[in-house]
Amino acid sequence: MKKLDWYILKKFLVTFFFCIFLFTVIAVVVDISEKTDDFLKSGLGFTGIIMQYYIGFIPYIIALLFPLFVLIAVVYFTSKMAGRSEIVAILASGTSFRRFLVPYTIGGSALGLLLLYSAHLVIPNANAIRGNFETRYVNGNNSYNALVFKNNDIYERLDSFTYFGIRSYDTARKYGGPFFLHRIKGSTQLVYNLRAETITWDTTKRKSRWVLQNVFERTIIGKKEVVTTATRKEMSFNFKPFDLSHDEFAKDKLPTPQLSQFINLEELRGAEDVNTLKVERYRRSATAVTVLILTIIGATVASRKVRGGSGAHIAIVFVIGILFILMDRFSTIFSSKGNLPPVIAAWIPNAVFLVVTYYLYRRAPK
């Protein structure tokens, strides 16, 4: 990298992090003004509020508009360079426009990798922290965390041939009952049936397991039936208490490895919202590529010196950003409510705007 590359890259990163810092401070101040009463009622001190809420809120608010602020930062400092005729001088010196975009590509790739790591591992944990606080202290009826619900009947598929049900399951106590499980062979033949008065998640041992009380088992082999009973029985299933909570925001709070496991479990159960979960998993990677695409778009748009200056450039990229968000929302709806494959729904905005990027690059000043 040459001095010119470091000059542009420094302007890029300094402008971006300043914009993010300023936006985060404003967001935190506004949030504090809205939740002051809730903070006082919680009884938590300054450290408690920071560790139990803002340590999750700040990453969430940064990630929410991360690509948009990359675009704004690129347009702002590039437009200033164009207004001072710096870009004209750079291109007149024999530097090609493609070479001019190298520091933008490096900066956009670095920020994209940062967002990629955060989207897969950091942001989900932050969402869980923020959601736990809001559910407990802000509004207890908030469905974001779904910590507690009672008198809820559960009937789901465990695998291709096994079904289970729990009556009146309590997610807070991780307790429910009665519980039943049956396994079929073919489409109609019952080969195993289990019933228990209660089912409880036991965390007292190194390997947590489900504990059943007053168990009655029937195993059917041809025309014979084997019946066994037990007052207590420990069993391992492929579901945990979290999987029974039916949290509609689980996709936002699970790191990608756990999200992939959750998707596999939901597919076994035949759940209806699997596409929504898959779109979220693919989007976490697609958003990182979005950062690089928007970086190139911003550089190509703002590198042209226009009469309106930075204001005209920012207006253009705001329109581009709004169109991108709308396309992203529509593709998600078509996948979750229709037949659009989740991987296409997550990547189609990037594919479309990659074409837009190429068109703008061809029209950029050379």
- Same domain flag for 110 and 185: no
Of 199, 229, 244, which residue is a domain's last? Answer: 244
User: Do 135 and 144 meet the contact criterion of CB atoms below 8 Å apart?
Assistant: yes
Question: CB atoms < 10 A from the CB of 176, how many?
Answer: 23
What local confidence, expressed as pLDDT, does residue 145 receive? 43
| pLDDT tens figures, 201-239 | 887 766 768 899 999 999 988 888 889 999 999 888 877
What count of residues does the chain have? 366
What local confidence, expressed as pLDDT, does residue 163 receive? 86
Map residue 280 onto helix, strand or coil.
helix
3-state helix, strand, coil in the chain (%, to 5): 60, 15, 20
- Same domain flag for 111 and 223: no
- Same domain flag for 129 and 156: no
- Same domain flag for 80 and 159: no
- Same domain flag for 285 and 216: no
Q: Is residue 300 part of a domain?
A: yes
User: Do 194 and 217 meet the contact criterion of CB atoms below 8 Å apart?
Assistant: yes
What local confidence, expressed as pLDDT, does residue 148 receive? 42
Is pLDDT larger for residue 259 or for residue 151? Answer: 259
CA distances from 70 to 107, 309, 353 (A): 10, 19, 15
Q: Is residue 7 part of a domain?
A: yes
- Same domain flag for 235 and 310: no
pLDDT at 152 over 80: no
Q: Is residue 147 part of a domain?
A: no
- Same domain flag for 45 and 8: yes
Instruction: Report the chain's mean pLDDT, rounded to a whole number.
Output: 85
CA distances from 57 to 23, 132, 146, 244 (A): 13, 11, 18, 26
CA–CA distance, 48 with 39 (Å, rounded to integer): 10
What local confidence, expressed as pLDDT, does residue 120 receive? 94
- Same domain flag for 116 and 187: no
Cα angle 175-160-345, degrees, rounded to a multiple of 5: 90
Q: Residue 270 has which token pair?
A: 């035949």
Domain tally for the chain? 2
User: Do 156 and 171 meet the contact criterion of CB atoms below 8 Å apart?
Assistant: no
Q: Is residue 254 part of a domain?
A: no
Of 244, 263, 293, which residue is a domain's last? Answer: 244
Question: CB atoms < 10 A from the CB of 189, how many?
Answer: 9
Q: Is residue 261 part of a domain?
A: no
- Same domain flag for 177 and 319: no
| pLDDT tens figures, 265-318 | 778 776 777 888 899 899 999 999 999 999 999 999 888 876 656 677 778 777
- Same domain flag for 159 and 201: yes
Over residues 139-143, mean pLDDT: 51
What local confidence, expressed as pLDDT, does residue 248 receive? 66
| pLDDT tens figures, 29-48 | 999 998 888 888 888 888 88
Over residues 163-188, mean pLDDT: 82
The range of the structural domain enclosing residue 345 comes to 3-141+274-363
Q: Is residue 249 part of a domain?
A: no
Q: Is residue 256 part of a domain?
A: no
Is pLDDT larger for residue 339 or for residue 26? Answer: 26
CA–CA distance, 298 with 126 (Å, rounded to integer): 29
| pLDDT tens figures, 321-333 | 788 888 888 888 8
User: Do 226 and 240 meet the contact criterion of CB atoms below 8 Å apart?
Assistant: no
Q: Residue 74 has which token pair?
A: 């690129």
